[in-house]
Amino acid sequence: MRKKTILPILENSFGNSLTRAIARFFPDDDQDSEGNMQLQDLAGKIHHAIKSTVENVGKASNADEIVSLVDNANEELFKGRDEPDTDCYISSSWCRCSIYEADHGWGKPSCVTMPMNQKLRNVIVLVETFDGDGVEALLTLDENSMHIFEQDPEIIPILGQDVKA
List of long-range contacts for 69-77, beta carbons under 8 Å, 24+ apart: 69/19, 70/18, 70/19, 70/20, 73/19, 73/20, 73/21, 73/22, 74/20, 76/20, 76/22, 77/20, 77/22
pLDDT in tens, 44-102: 888 998 899 888 888 888 888 888 888 888 888 777 677 777 777 888 888 888 888 88
Among 28-32, 82-86, 115-119, 150-154, name the most confident range: 150-154
Q: What is the pLDDT of residue 1?
A: 60
Return the percentage of the chain with pLDDT > 70, whole number. Answer: 78
pLDDT of residue 66: 82
Q: Is the pLDDT of residue 161 over 80?
A: no
Other C-beta atoms lying within 10 Å of the C-beta of residue 53? 19
pLDDT digits (tens, 9 = 90+) for 29-55: 666 666 677 778 878 888 998 899 888
Closest by CA position to 60, among listed 12, 1, 13? 1
Give the pLDDT of residue 14: 59
Tell me what the pLDDT averaged over the chain comes to: 79
**Domains of the chain by start residue, with CATH:** 1-85 (no CATH), 89-165 (3.30.559.10)
Q: Please tell me whether residue 52 adopts helix, strand or coil conformation.
A: helix
Q: In what order do the strands lie in the sheet with 90-93?
A: 90-93, 123-128, 135-140
The pLDDT of residue 30 = 64
Q: Report the pLDDT averaged over residues 101-105.
A: 82
| Band of residue 165 on the pLDDT scale cut at 50, 70, 90 | very low
